Amino acid sequence: MNTVIDPDVIKRANTWLDGDFDDETKSAVREMILKNPAELTDSFYRDLEFGTGGLRGIMGTGTNRMNRYTVGMATQGLANYLIRMFPEEKSLKAAISYDSRNNSRIFARITAEVFAANGFRVFLFDDIRPTPELSFTVRHLKCQTGVMLTASHNPKEYNGYKAYWDDGAQMIAPHDVNVMEEVQKITSVDDVRWTGNPQNIIEIGKDVDEAYLDQVLGLSLSPELIRRQKNMKIVYTPLHGCGRMMVPEILKRFGFENVVTVKEQMVADGNFPTVRSPNPEEQDAMTLALSLANEIDADLVMATDPDADRVGIALKNSSGKFILLNGNQTAALLFYYILYSWKEKNLLKGNEYIVSTIVTTELLKKIAEKFSVGYFECLTGFKFIADVIRKQEGKMKYIVGGEESFGYLIGDFVRDKDAVSACALLAEAAAWMADQEKSLFDLMIRISRELGFYKEHLISVTKKGKTGAEDIQKMMVDYRQNPPVQINNSKVILIRDYLLRSEKDLVTGQAKSIDLPKSNVLQFILEDGSRISVRPSGTEPKIKYYFSVIGKLGENEDYNIMDGILAKKISDIISSMKLN
């Protein structure tokens, strides 16, 4: 059966056949035209765009794929924009790092060469380094931009390109959109300055490592109790990624002397051979670490994703069984320990604050209120947390920020999520509890009794390719045009539409504006306090559903029983919405 291919797709593909592309690329395009029209469409129906995480996609041939040409074009567009935005700078500077993914080093070198050819002084790391260190380096070396080649926790087929502004944060509007406009002006690979000025590329490594590690070490709040708990058993895995360069070292510098690594996963390998996906949010990725933890009777298990900006942890429950925490639970433990310690050490002066996102647990707000610390809420994506930090500089003191997707940032010398510092402070929190002959699970119970038992759950529905993206948009339109009246027999009493920047109280009929940038997110608040958020992913072909329910845990009530009650409530909500 013949398949009709969109003329625009054919036109884009022919541009690659006629242009100055290598023979291997042209052969791949011809193969798709003749034998795989569906793949051709997915590869050429659009250009990769900067989303909440920058440029990200499947590696391969085409305008909608990560390859040397899309990387080069993006870099040329970024360079053009930076030259226009910093006319007073005689010598623009860029920092570049990369993770262990296949082609990351190649893409990093291409990025460096294009910047150098455009007159930039380029600082290129000599080996894989974590995303947070790249963010730090932009600030440390006073660069105008930085690029991290990574696809974070995505499967091995993906790679990505995170672009940073001069404050070390990922780009937000208008810069992200403006860069894409510059990229779109590049209609031919001939517009890219591929080579020239190789002397502008400067290799960096150990000196920057030391500067970064010194800053992270300065975050320690309780070195004295670590000395007492230095033999606490910690299992760590980098899942074949960048964390191997920094996490064991910072744990050692903090004073932990009994850190055991998962040897098979300490090998940097873009094929991620021991896991289905290098995502610390998933049980499968933690299998080897949990096996080792049980073998040595560890106290804490930690795993970082390939670019070491996210961390997942496991700890023992009251029965001595290891359980994986979600990002909200980990954030609650981390934030509570840090704010408690700040208060105990009289560091809180009245102008401090924390930051979280609209889809992250409201428990963090409760923790801020408990310690009389300011609280800011922003859109999903760590670049928006960084934007809050930027806007509050000189006004208030930032302590910690985080989001439900396993990303946290302590201190402001980095402007992206940082699993290196998070691992160090989480280990310190565990030592703090151990010093009281208690565990982090005991701290979870304590928080739940003091502030309410919050339970969250995330469902991601994947819709692949062009038709998948269209399906996701249609789903969002349907929710707006026909919002649910009740969910799981509980009335919807409030709807927040972040695209329209409006909030409507369905009980009083009153509406008010939302003081945040536009974002395609809907929230339904129920009469029983439950909250459901719906948003398309900015970096993956998914629509995400975030569920949050609340219970009360008294002194005589069992944590596990209440956890089961709330889990069933979430399950009932999912069934009510016909998502399973």
58 found inside a domain: no
| Range with the poorest average pLDDT among 106-110, 285-289, 318-322, 461-465 | 461-465
76 in the same domain as 38: no
539 pLDDT above the threshold of 80: no
Average pLDDT over residues 97-119: 98
pLDDT bracket for residue 54 (50, 70, 90):
low
How many other C-beta atoms lie within 10 A of the C-beta of residue 399? 23
By the 8 A CB rule, do 167 and 414 touch? Answer: no
Strand residues in 339-417 grouped as ranges (E): 352-357, 374-378, 397-403, 407-410
480 in the same domain as 436: no
Q: Distance between CA atoms of 327 and 406, rounded to whole angstroms?
A: 4
By the 8 A CB rule, do 553 and 448 touch? Answer: yes
Average pLDDT over residues 131-159: 96
489 in the same domain as 366: no
117 found inside a domain: yes
Domain C-terminal end among 451, 468, 493: 451
388 in the same domain as 262: yes
Domain count, the chain: 4
Which pLDDT belongs to residue 335? 98
Task: Please tell me whether residue 445 adopts helix, strand or coil conformation.
Answer: helix
Average pLDDT over residues 485-510: 97
| CA atoms within 13 A of residue 282's CA, in its CB half-sphere | 14
Question: Choosing from 97, 100, 135, 152, which is the catalytic residue?
Answer: 152
| Residues 6 or more apart in contact with residue 481 via CB below 8 angstroms | none
Q: Distance between CA atoms of 220 and 338, rounded to whole angstroms?
A: 10
CATH number at residue 94: 3.40.120.10
Which pLDDT belongs to residue 1? 41
53 found inside a domain: no
527 in the same domain as 466: yes
Domain C-terminal end among 386, 420, 451: 451
pLDDT bracket for residue 46 (50, 70, 90):
confident
225 found inside a domain: yes
99 found inside a domain: yes
501 found inside a domain: yes
317 in the same domain as 172: no
467 pLDDT above the threshold of 90: no
56 found inside a domain: no
% of the chain beyond a pLDDT of 90: 88
pLDDT bracket for residue 556 (50, 70, 90):
confident
The amino acid at 92: L
By the 8 A CB rule, do 426 and 313 touch? Answer: yes
CATH number at residue 475: 3.30.310
**Is the pLDDT higher at 169 or at 461?**
169
Helix or strand run (H / E) with residue 303? strand 300-304
Domain C-terminal end among 187, 204, 221: 204
511 in the same domain as 381: no
51 pLDDT above the threshold of 80: no
375-427 tens-digit pLDDT: 999 999 899 999 999 999 999 999 999 999 999 999 999 999 999 999 999 99
389-401 tens-digit pLDDT: 999 999 999 999 9
| Range with the poorest average pLDDT among 312-326, 410-424, 433-447, 463-477 | 463-477
Phi, psi of 513 (to 5 degrees): -85, 155
> Domain containing 137: what range?
64-204
Which pLDDT belongs to residue 40? 96
440 in the same domain as 325: yes
Distance of CA 336 to the CA centre of its chain: 21
Which pLDDT belongs to residue 557? 84
343 in the same domain as 221: yes
End-to-end CA distance of the chain: 34
Q: Which two tokens stand for residue 48?
A: 């990769």
493 in the same domain as 352: no
Which pLDDT belongs to residue 540? 66
Strand residues in 47-193 grouped as ranges (E): 55-58, 93-98, 121-125, 145-149, 158-164
- Nearest by Cα to 327 from 358, 360, 285: 360
Which pLDDT belongs to residue 558? 92
199 in the same domain as 117: yes
Q: Distance between CA atoms of 520 and 530, rounded to whole angstroms?
A: 20
425 in the same domain as 302: yes
How many other C-beta atoms lie within 10 A of the C-beta of residue 521? 23
Helices 440-451 and 419-434, interaxial angle, to 10°? 90
Highest mean pLDDT out of 69-73, 74-78, 263-267: 263-267
Which pLDDT belongs to residue 176? 84
Q: Distance between CA atoms of 516 and 448, rounded to whole angstroms?
A: 30
57 pLDDT above the threshold of 80: yes
Average pLDDT over residues 165-191: 88
| Whether residue 405 lies in the annotated active site | no
543 found inside a domain: yes
Average pLDDT over residues 209-236: 98
